[in-house]
Structure 1
């Protein structure tokens, strides 16, 4: 007994010394201090998230498409199911901290022998209720429950990340679809102009006014423009199919609203606060993953401490061999402490510490990526606008050059090659302008996405104050 008590005392002393050691420090440069809670930012005064930022483009059809995608997108459904799974795991971890009650009704049948040697058959039953409760003195179950709670919040952040990505993809895809529609319209208009030029060239060649060289050049240019129409139609069909997938439907036509040049470009105010980045669901997910890893480390360290549990049972013995029922009860406790486990618990704690460090580095990386994406989006909004302005001027100049070249050609002052070059320049400028306008609108979508869903007037006002 003395030897057993000595071994138990040594084991407890080693366990206490191990658990009282210094807490592993996070990697240098990786902060483990989380920003304000995601729900606090959502519900906090003066900082509401603009949940319908896609309405800023002024197209009701786009608003309807986003609503359909949020209602039927399969990726969002999977993310929502994962949230429900995490919430169930949280409830399971929380249930480990509550007492457990079990009821039993064992029955027996046997023979009894009286003093006179007369055997008889006896029937008995012992209904009972057993209760057990883990005191959790060192917080093993409490920290495990907190880790499950943080993991559930991280899954909610992952779901919100998917939701924001779906909305942004629908908005960007719709903008690209309207750009492709405009490209198709330009290709058809250009093809009609090439057809008229080919008709004039054929008539001039038949009358002997020009050589067949101009006729072949006009015919070649017509065929080159003709292939742009099915190419644009193919891109439109593919874009419609991509949007159908986002909407959770089979491939089919997508309704159209405003043309590309009538979609509004939202104004970006000066002085957007950096705190808006805390609204990003991916940052919230990384934050809660860090919290979950930290709580798991606490739970692993607490597992080295003794486990104290209380048990009790109460019941009654009923038997035909007894004149009256007999009540029975028991109350007890248990203290379990690891004496020798070959380093398993220490290895589990070290693994939890390593996972916590990984989560800390991931959180820092997510923050750096957020800053980079915001800077890229702001630069895209600015530079794409400048590019669109320059291309609009180029398109106007190319249209003027085509008018002059066409008049000179019809008057016989220049060769057909000048008109041909002017036509090619105008087509190139028009297609580039369409793409630049689409890129500019897509840059606004990206900016809203990188800020976690837009901003409100109160956010800018708070910075200016």
Structure 2
């Protein structure tokens, strides 16, 4: 993904070749980047899932909930983090303009006024008032590309800043989607708790009537009361979790704490289709990976610029103007042109230390790029596995829930008919509640895995994206 440009280009000019050889002799060979920065995708990270249907670019709309789409739009419009990222882009853009301006001539003008006395040929002094307007031009020839390389570094840093903003956008959208899925899962947990509590209340009523009539002992009544209160505490716990989740989403939306609108239920949220194969190059759309790549490019160009600063620098200067004075019958035109060569002779190792520091920064960026790439492959593999395994878990838990629901019906009928003890019905009730809550969590985990996969792939994809990957 990243290739170092050759330090010296071929030139037909003997003078340019001589300068290149002189520069190489003065500053030594260019430090190469660490060899361990090469990253190859894992050979088996592709996983055949889905039907290969295309996905829209605004990937959060693939869940089919207009409320979720509106929440993401609000968060992207009101996020202070995006505002801060935009300000950093403006700063990087100004730095890039400044670096480009360093390569252009500098033109300045001055018009100083003077007063004094003049002596005529006959020795008679007289007062004189004059002015010397002048225009001066200075230009750095940049023989060894110091300014050009600094401009390229600033440009790459600008691209890295834009990628950082995209990273923030992707993170905000993913956080809102994950938070909304969690909120809908908490809503469903609250519904399960209330349904179970109603069933427990009915069981407690029957147990109390049977105990009062003498058909059962007070032990079954106390067990029914304990089970009712155990379920009762689930309701305020779920309500507290919902309030906290709504406040967290309000913060992402840039609003004060308050209720969050609801759309589709957890079971109604669509499961997006995933293409059968996603190429490894598609990961280059990840903004954090692109940011690391451009940061590496910027540090590499900064290294070359720091090395070029150790070579002689040739600057051209010129000025032209006129002398206007009351002591002169006609104005006098004056001009000057010259060149200056600035070369470090002894700086105590300052420039060498700056070049070594630039080399170290380049190496740090190279290792950071490798770490980011490896992290990207891991996140994609984890997300694909999460989508697949959490779906299998949800199917198994749905079967368990159905079986336990049937067991509870049988245990309730046998208990009312007097063929089994109350403990059998109690065990079936506990197992069914646990299975229903686990099923809600598994479905939420599966949808969250989809969000994580979208984030790992840098945002939405389509079949065309899988065929041709371009930045």
Using structure 2 for the length normalisation, give the TM-score.
Answer: 0.89
Aligned to 2:30: 23
Aligned to 2:83: 77
**In structure 2, do the counterparts of structure 1 residues 85 and 461 end up closer, same or farther at CA, with 3 Å as the change threshold?**
closer
Residue 414 of structure 1: which of 408, 415, 420 is its match? 420
Q: Is the 8 A contact 1:126 1:318 kept in 2?
A: yes
Residue 344 of structure 1: which of 347, 350, 374 is its match? 350
Aligned to 1:261: 267
Distance in 2 (CA, whole Å) between partners of 1:53 and 1:17 is 51
* Cα deviation code 1:251-279 (max 9, x no counterpart): 11111110000111012221211111111
Distance in 2 (CA, whole Å) between partners of 1:32 and 1:280 is 15
Q: Is the 8 A contact 1:32 1:290 kept in 2?
A: no
Q: Is the 8 A contact 1:61 1:257 kept in 2?
A: yes
Distance in 2 (CA, whole Å) between partners of 1:16 and 1:272 is 46
How far did residue 24 of structure 1 move?
1.1
How far did residue 104 of structure 1 move?
1.1
Distance in 2 (CA, whole Å) between partners of 1:329 and 1:32 is 59
Q: Is the 8 A contact 1:31 1:360 kept in 2?
A: no
Secondary structure (helix, strand or coil) at the match of 2:138 reads strand
Using the TM superposition, name which of 320-329 and 282-291 deviates more: 320-329
Distance in 2 (CA, whole Å) between partners of 1:17 and 1:181 is 69
How far did residue 323 of structure 1 move?
2.0
Q: Is the 8 A contact 2:275 2:463 kept in 1?
A: no
Aligned to 1:308: 314
Aligned to 1:124: 130
Aligned to 2:46: none
**In structure 2, do the counterparts of structure 1 residues 391 and 19 end up closer, same or farther at CA, with 3 Å as the change threshold?**
farther
Residue 443 of structure 2: which of 413, 437, 441 is its match? 437
Residue 185 of structure 1: which of 183, 191, 202 is its match? 191
Aligned to 1:281: 287
Residue 206 of structure 1: which of 192, 196, 212 is its match? 212
Distance in 2 (CA, whole Å) between partners of 1:294 and 1:137 is 19
Q: Is the 8 A contact 2:309 2:351 kept in 1?
A: yes
How far did residue 117 of structure 1 move?
6.5
Distance in 1 (CA, whole Å) between partners of 2:417 and 2:203 is 14
Aligned to 2:68: 62
Distance in 1 (CA, whole Å) between partners of 2:339 and 2:312 is 13
Residue 92 of structure 2: which of 77, 81, 86 is its match? 86
Secondary structure (helix, strand or coil) at the match of 1:26 reads coil
Aligned to 2:250: 244
Aligned to 1:39: none
**In structure 2, do the counterparts of structure 1 residues 49 and 231 end up closer, same or farther at CA, with 3 Å as the change threshold?**
closer
How far did residue 409 of structure 1 move?
1.7
Secondary structure (helix, strand or coil) at the match of 1:204 reads helix
Aligned to 1:110: 116
Secondary structure (helix, strand or coil) at the match of 2:318 reads strand
Aligned to 1:45: none
Secondary structure (helix, strand or coil) at the match of 1:262 reads coil
Distance in 2 (CA, whole Å) between partners of 1:32 and 1:198 is 64
Secondary structure (helix, strand or coil) at the match of 1:308 reads strand
Q: Is the 8 A contact 2:283 2:458 kept in 1?
A: yes
Aligned to 1:7: none
Q: Which sections of structure 2, spanning at least 5 residues, go unmatched?
A: 1-18, 41-53
Supply the RMSD in Å over aligned alpha carbons: 2.2
Q: Does 1:150 align with 2:164?
A: no
How far did residue 459 of structure 1 move?
4.0
**In structure 2, do the counterparts of structure 1 residues 155 and 19 end up closer, same or farther at CA, with 3 Å as the change threshold?**
farther
Distance in 1 (CA, whole Å) between partners of 2:109 and 2:149 is 29
Distance in 1 (CA, whole Å) between partners of 2:138 and 2:56 is 50
